[in-house]
Amino acid sequence: MYILFISIAIMIILSFLMLSGFKSPSNYIKIGEKAPLFELFDQDEKLFSLKDYNGKKMVIYFFPKAFTPGWTKQACGFRDQYSIYQENNIEIIGISYDLREKQKSFSEKNKLNFRVLSDSKKEVSKLYGVDTYFFPKRVTFLIDENGIVFDVIDDMSLSDYAKNIIQIFKKHNIESNENIEK
């Protein structure tokens, strides 16, 4: 009986810690805001600086952990659609708390053709409002060539994730061009 009580108490405490770390969409960087600039190292120990991508459209997506089924599906979807992203002048950046070595291993195993960044100090996750106690929340920020966040995605099915994001960019470009013509 005592062991059961301790087990339940531990489960309640862990649940509280996990839930208290989760952010609601209202804490994310908002649509229409400038994407916060940051610098992080990628899986190959190269420094990534968002300011170096001025004039490029960006997909910045946060994922919980390397080697999890969800991220494998998401990352491989981006890998498979990468040429279409490049044709549309869109860069893809994945970010998690994983150490660079783990991301390098995952990237090599899955032959990823885009950069994966290590936010082990949780600084960038905090900037974007996706930080939690154990891992960043799975959220994707779509950023236009002016550095403005035009969409925040936290509930899309991972099945056709990469293809759907391309469609969101295309729709945004059509709407942006219509606004310019008016």
Token code pair at residue 73: 């599906």
Token code pair at residue 97: 């708390």
Tell me: the pLDDT tens digits for 118-159?
A: 999 999 999 999 988 888 888 999 999 999 999 999 887 777
Instruction: Supply the pLDDT for residue 7.
Output: 60
Per CATH, the number for 29-181 is: 3.40.30.10
User: How much of the chain exceeds pLDDT 70, in percent?
Assistant: 81
Edge-to-edge strands, sheet with 149-153: 115-118, 90-96, 57-62, 139-143, 149-153
> What is the residue extent of each domain of the chain?
29-181
Instruction: Supply the pLDDT for residue 134.
Output: 85
Tell me: the pLDDT tens digits for 110-120?
A: 999 999 999 99
Q: State the pTM of this model.
A: 0.81
